[in-house]
Structure 1
Amino acid sequence: MEKSPLVKKITIWLYGLFAAAVVSVFLLFFLISAGALGFMPSFEELENPHSNLATEVFAADEVLLGNFFQENRSRVEYEEISPNVINALVSTEDIRFYDHSGIDARGLARVLFRTILLQEESSGGGSTITQQLAKLLFHDPARSKWERGIQKLKEWVIAVKLERSYTKDEILGMYLNKAPFIYDAYGIKSAAATFFSTYPDSLTVEESAVLVGMLKNPSLFNPVRRPELTQGRRNVVLHQMMKARHLTRAEYDSLKQLPLGLEFKRSDHIGGLAPYFREYLRTTLTARQPVRENYASWQNQKFLEDSVEWNKNPLFGWVNKNLKADGSKYDIYRDGLKIYTTIDSELQLNAEKAVQMHLAEDLQPKFFKEKRGRTRAPFTQHITKEQYDQIINRAMQQTDRYRILRQKDMPEDSIRMVFNEPVPMQVFSYKGDIDTIMSPMDSIHYYKSFLRASLFSMDPHSGHVKAYVGGPSYKHFKYDMATMGKRQVGSTIKPFIYTLAMQEGLTPCDLVPNVPQTFYLPTGQTWTPRTSGNRREGEMVSLKWGLAQSNNNITAWIMKQYNPQAVVNILRSLGIKSPMDAVPALSLGAPDFGLSEMVAAYATYANKGVHSEPLFVTRIEDRYGNVISTFNPRRSEASMSTTPI
């Protein structure tokens, strides 16, 4: 029976509409692929997706000390990821992952029917792992439903290209390296370290289930703040693994009863091992070439020291001295470098504990006891009230609170009212931080009462720095006393002066008079240093005895035999860079030196007269493991010439 003209017409229209729809879909995807509807990555970008990788800082024994990052992301190869993670991920996020080519038709049909037609928001999404990777690699969050719709179509195109360019294992590895967690953890390696203090290849089934479960909504399924909710989500993942036959019913029933077992350790620049050292390393690597205009008027010495470091120390300003193959500078926050330092992690841990114990159990209690009840505490009673007020005011003006209020043009008297108003705050104590209510001004007085200490240890032969502690708590006392702080050296300068005597022909057994020594100054005045006590005063004593007793008479006698400039010369040859005047007061240690330069100077004796500059880094590798810089000890034989230099 021949079809009627109307039926033929309707049939032609239907076929035409279908063909137009097919052509429109192909045209739409062609336009998307060509980038006509917004940014689309090129094939080269798909082959080399860019990730912000954190720079890792390793101790000499390859213990990870910490990272420099904008996103705390460390790359890990697929082979270094536990199969438990892979099984948990595929079972939960994309059960047909190994069967589709980037787009799951069954999942897509479910979304079209249940989510779009039936408006069931809880029906689940249709995104495959490959589509999720596409979203992570190339898209910012959508700002509207229309933009999200276009974005979804782009993800399909990118997912297909990814499937053509990579193996399934490579796609899983890329996704796990890119996946965002919380607490500055990006990627499976950072997440494993942050939440379980382990490595991706060592994650257990239940740990893997926790991390994979978090991917649905890391803020919601937060194991630190919402352990019960996270445990429930973990058990959902375990159940999916059982359904996929990666677990037996008995294993599932056993594992779901286990606690989360967190070993939470957030990675940041404040906590962890060697924070003072890591900050020193960061500022040293990123230092710029010194320009006098960039320094304050009172920072002339700092400018001179930085200029010397720029010219002689390859680590100083490393990122500004070395270029990548494309001519751009390295970025320690994004380029995934690996920095291998000279620090011994075990010695570093013991050094930090030693500084804490020395202060918390010995010096600090004695200091508190001595200053209790004194009106000018923690300072000496010999300063005037005006001097005391100047110290406190200067401390107030150096705070962020003061700077912010000044930027708002708040009057000085109003600022003082703010500083005297009690507010909730957290303050330092050796037994742990204390939550309290205190005025900012009282907190300044409180922190001024804490003593500081630092520790610097190096191998005298190689110059390798083994331990570096800049203070009692980097979180609360960020000023680094190991390399930045300088203190009057006092009697610790005396061995250097006795070295001058030895190199000029005297011996430890030579006898000298133990009597006060008077110096005639260029001003016409005289200066006679005094010594504590009168033991053997007036007798002939050996130089050995004088050094052992730290006797000022004997040190002054040596100084008189030569000249102050000779002492300056010998100190310079031993690596002391701090400013000092060639005056008789050098014999009593009047100048201020830094701890690191004093340690290096003393190490010259253990190295038989060869001075080694402290060495902090042995090599730097790029993200692919290629060595791009090596660092060797800078040694020089200590010259004991008395000729001025």
Structure 2
Amino acid sequence: MTLNKELIKTWAKRLTYAFLVLATILACFYGSIYFGFWGEIPSSKKLSDLKQSQATQVLDTHKDLIGKFYIYDRQSISYNDFPQHLIDALIATEDTRFYEHNGIDNTSLLRVFFKTILLSDQSSGGGSTITLQLAKNLYGRKDYGYLSIVVNKLKEGIVARRIENIYSKKEILTLYLNTVPFSDNTYGIESASVKFFNTKTKQLDLSQAATLIGTLKANNGYNPRLYPEKSQQRRDLVINLMKNQEFITEKQAADAIKSDIELDYQYYAPNQGLAPYFRAEIKKQLDSILQQKKYKNPDGESYNIFHDGLKVYTTLDNNMQRYAEEAMQDHMANLQLQFEKAYGQNAPWLKNKPAYLAAKKRLTKYRALKKQNLSDQAIEDSLNKTHDTKLFSWEASSIEQMSTLDSLEYYSKFLNTGLLSLDPSNGDIKAYVGGIDYRYFQYDHVSQSKRQVGSTFKPIVYTAALENGMDPCSYFSIKEVTYTDVDNWTPKNASSDEDENLHYSLKYALSRSVNTISVKVIQETGVNNVIEQAKAMGINSKIEEVPSIALGTSNLSLIELARAYTSYVNQSVSSKPVFITRIEDKNGNVIATYEDLNPTNSKEKAFSDDTRQFMLEFLQETVNNGTASRLRSNYNLTNDIAGKTGTTQDNKDGWFVGIMPKLVTVVWVGNDNQQIGFSSTGIGQGANSALPIFAKYIQKLNSDPNYKNITQASFEAPSKKVAQAMDCDLSKEEGFFKQLFGNDKKEKSFEKKKKKGFFSWLKKDNDSI
């Protein structure tokens, strides 16, 4: 008996000792975590000033979201923006005793220990609280090997207790819902609401709120976009939990469960969604703006567009942008079919054709292999290795096995486009389409590309002529003239069946885009005067001092051409395009104002009021009876519209500029490989390749009553003086001039010394229209 007592005593001491040792080890282990030996734990001071990464929002002119820049797609809102059923769904699903514990729910932990661990009952739930989840959301988890789960859980417990000591329950819910990850790499309830349902959080209904809360258990597994059936089952479970805990009535639960989940998914990935080219340009501008010393955050550091939750207010109109993109897609899909069918088996983009071979040598991979001094065969073999390639198509994208050379041939056939719509009164950009699909073609044809502008340059020539004293009723013969001092250059008209005895007025010649007369007009006006006129209208690109610019041989960007044309409906003043009107920080404090971002443009007139009225009459004639008349005949547009078509040599570029009293729109269509043009003028002329995009775009605006102020606006009536000055016949026969002058009107050759051979490429017919 004594022996048993001694044995018990000995074991009691040993167990006590072991317990003390274990307790000491655990205490030391916990202490090592608490004091930061396993990584810093945020102090109460840091927790009281939480700074979470937030997405920068890009907003349109109506303050609607266009897109975001982010690493984590997150934007914060206040507690008052949460509907009660959202809070109830969260509590019912994630933490039923949220209002009772201090960050760690001991009751739940005991339940987990006995039911989940000892009894293996997986239905008993977890022991995590909303506050513990918040701690994990804020600081993430690190890898500590086999001790990871223990270390991370203890760290989260410490942080959770500190959070509970600092913040109220409402504040904790606000922090949680603004930081918790939802499906599709979306962080925070506001971002998730907009992405999945295109609505603000405060407007979520019961079904929508339950759907989003349901995804928190498994972001990917319950993603309503990818797995709608599983997501609906999870939503129903959340609703039933709310009913069981008496947050909602049985009827409310039944009504919500009856409904299907109806997504209105919004893409805000950089390469997807509305206005991707515009967003890319906004990012470039922000990168430049926010590096300036005057734009610093309160800590004196540069703002970070991926983290700082800025709000960028722009001039774009989401609806107009959508209409422009739809019009572009509708026309370009059909035009691509025409383009490929017209070439058939003789297409210039096919392998071993000159355009293809030249493009192959421009490939980055080809040049890299060439630098390695590999043989031509070795380079060819490398470029012919196949791999998975995602292919663009107007019907449906696909992934196929293709080599680099196969891909080059495939993509070389695609036509591309650019469109820009401006409010001429202030330069505000209303629609911006930089290409057919940003995911596959990231080169921006509005701001980056420069192409020959064809006959869209002719109005500038005529404007300069009027400004330099030419009578608007001047007549010119359509006869061809050979300019012996310019390599015997003979400009030709697109049509060869016109009566050479005719003389056209300026109005008629411009509206029919007569090449021979445009050159004669620049001859009398002077090339330098035309270049100066172009500069006054906002064109900054270098323009060669050669007479061929009358036919649009200069390379200009679409955006500067649009700026030049705004002067025709803005009191003769060109409007510089405006992208951004204001930048705010996440708290609504203004970082940069309109005046900061858009210094006042010169209000100096580019030409006189009389010239403006003359040109508007000329350009309206182009639409009513000239090269753009299909706007009336084919598309039945009755709006007040002036405009100009343009086509460059060998049908490489098609242009259309549409001028309305309150909207100027420029459209370009062509192939990125400038060796590849349209097979014929019939398909490639601006009236066929570019004009239809404008026409379909305006049709959509016409059908939307919100844009009556644009679509129903009227041009100014010409003054009496201007009307009288234009009171003349559009054309005259040569006999009239014989009677008037006694002999044929002589044509002068343009006197300008240039290097021999510069114009040799212009000996072919120039099809500018």
The TM-score with structure 2 as length reference comes to 0.71
After superposing the two structures, state which structure 1 stretch, 530-539 or 484-493, moved more.
Answer: 530-539
Pair 1:88–1:580, CA change in 2 (3 A): same
- Is residue 2:449 matched to residue 1:466? no
Cα pair 2:85 2:209 within 8 Å, conserved:
yes
| CA apart distance, 1:171 | 0.5
Distance in 1, Cα, partners of 2:133 & 2:575:
53
Per-residue Cα deviation, 1:435-469 (whole angstroms, up to 9, x for no partner): 55555433322222221122100011110010001
343, 355, 361: which one aligns with 2:316: 343
Distance in 2, Cα, partners of 1:377 & 1:33:
67
What's 2:305 paired with?
332
Distance in 2, Cα, partners of 1:526 & 1:95:
90
- Is residue 2:196 matched to residue 1:188? no
Cα pair 2:481 2:490 within 8 Å, conserved:
yes
| CA apart distance, 1:138 | 2.0
What's 2:622 paired with?
none
- Is residue 2:559 matched to residue 1:559? no
Pair 1:511–1:255, CA change in 2 (3 A): closer
What's 1:457 paired with?
421
What's 1:308 paired with?
none
- Is residue 2:173 matched to residue 1:211? no
| CA apart distance, 1:553 | 3.1
Name the aligned partner's letter for residue 39 of structure 1. E
Cα pair 1:184 1:267 within 8 Å, conserved:
no
What's 1:252 paired with?
253
Alignment of structure 1 residues 385-404 onto 2, 5 Å: 387-394=354-361, 397-398=363-364
Distance in 2, Cα, partners of 1:238 & 1:404:
59
What's 2:332 paired with?
359
After superposing the two structures, state which structure 1 stretch, 71-80 or 149-158, moved more.
Answer: 149-158
Distance in 1, Cα, partners of 2:368 & 2:227:
35
| CA apart distance, 1:599 | 0.9
Distance in 2, Cα, partners of 1:595 & 1:62:
27
- Where 1:154 maps in the other structure, the secondary structure is helix
| CA apart distance, 1:539 | 5.2
Name the aligned partner's letter for residue 456 of structure 1. L
Alignment of structure 1 residues 517-596 onto 2, 5 Å: 517=481, 519=483, 521=485, 525-532=487-494, 533=496, 535=498, 537=500, 540-596=503-559
Name the aligned partner's letter for residue 376 of structure 1. P
Alignment of structure 1 residues 409-428 onto 2, 5 Å: 413-414=377-378, 416-417=380-381, 419-420=383-384, 425-428=389-392
What's 2:274 paired with?
273
What residue ranges of structure 2 are gaps of 5+ in the alignment?
609-769
Pair 1:19–1:390, CA change in 2 (3 A): closer
Distance in 1, Cα, partners of 2:444 & 2:264:
29
Alignment of structure 1 residues 91-490 onto 2, 5 Å: 91-115=92-116, 123-287=124-288, 315=289, 322-361=295-334, 363-374=335-346, 376-377=348-349, 387-394=354-361, 397-398=363-364, 413-414=377-378, 416-417=380-381, 419-420=383-384, 425-436=389-400, 438-490=402-454
Distance in 1, Cα, partners of 2:428 & 2:316:
8
Cα pair 2:315 2:578 within 8 Å, conserved:
yes
Cα pair 2:349 2:355 within 8 Å, conserved:
no
Aligned residues: 599
Cα pair 1:192 1:203 within 8 Å, conserved:
yes
Distance in 2, Cα, partners of 1:481 & 1:274:
13
- Is residue 2:636 matched to residue 1:635? no
What's 1:499 paired with?
463
Name the aligned partner's letter for residue 388 of structure 1. A
Distance in 1, Cα, partners of 2:178 & 2:426:
38
Distance in 1, Cα, partners of 2:278 & 2:162:
45
Distance in 2, Cα, partners of 1:190 & 1:158:
26
Cα pair 2:193 2:201 within 8 Å, conserved:
yes
Distance in 2, Cα, partners of 1:129 & 1:459:
50
- Where 1:126 maps in the other structure, the secondary structure is coil
- Where 2:415 maps in the other structure, the secondary structure is coil
| CA apart distance, 1:27 | 7.6
Cα pair 2:528 2:545 within 8 Å, conserved:
yes
After superposing the two structures, state which structure 1 stretch, 75-84 or 621-630, moved more.
Answer: 75-84
| CA apart distance, 1:15 | 10
Pair 1:375–1:26, CA change in 2 (3 A): closer
Name the aligned partner's letter for residue 70 of structure 2. F
Cα pair 1:56 1:68 within 8 Å, conserved:
yes
Distance in 1, Cα, partners of 2:124 & 2:431:
56
- Where 2:346 maps in the other structure, the secondary structure is coil
Distance in 1, Cα, partners of 2:173 & 2:146:
28
- Where 2:298 maps in the other structure, the secondary structure is coil
Distance in 1, Cα, partners of 2:85 & 2:480:
79
Distance in 1, Cα, partners of 2:606 & 2:262:
59
Distance in 2, Cα, partners of 1:410 & 1:62:
56
After superposing the two structures, state which structure 1 stretch, 589-598 or 194-203, moved more.
Answer: 194-203
| CA apart distance, 1:129 | 0.6
Pair 1:386–1:215, CA change in 2 (3 A): closer
Pair 1:37–1:426, CA change in 2 (3 A): closer
Cα pair 1:133 1:174 within 8 Å, conserved:
yes
What's 1:509 paired with?
473
Per-residue Cα deviation, 1:67-92 (whole angstroms, up to 9, x for no partner): 11111111122211222221111111
Distance in 2, Cα, partners of 1:513 & 1:561:
14
Distance in 1, Cα, partners of 2:231 & 2:319:
35
| CA apart distance, 1:130 | 0.7
Alignment of structure 1 residues 30-109 onto 2, 5 Å: 32-109=33-110
| CA apart distance, 1:520 | 5.9
Distance in 2, Cα, partners of 1:530 & 1:321:
55
- Where 2:466 maps in the other structure, the secondary structure is helix
Name the aligned partner's letter for residue 309 of structure 2. G
Distance in 2, Cα, partners of 1:217 & 1:178:
16
Distance in 1, Cα, partners of 2:319 & 2:35:
56
Distance in 2, Cα, partners of 1:582 & 1:139:
64
Pair 1:12–1:622, CA change in 2 (3 A): same
Give aligned-pair identity as a percent.
Answer: 36
Distance in 2, Cα, partners of 1:233 & 1:116:
25
Alignment of structure 1 residues 602-641 onto 2, 5 Å: 602-632=565-595, 633=598, 634-636=600-602, 637-639=604-606
Pair 1:246–1:352, CA change in 2 (3 A): same
Pair 1:325–1:541, CA change in 2 (3 A): same
Distance in 2, Cα, partners of 1:348 & 1:386:
38
The TM-score with structure 1 as length reference comes to 0.83
What's 2:702 paired with?
none
Distance in 1, Cα, partners of 2:100 & 2:483:
93
Per-residue Cα deviation, 1:575-612 (whole angstroms, up to 9, x for no partner): 11222211121122111111111111011111122111
Cα pair 1:610 1:635 within 8 Å, conserved:
no
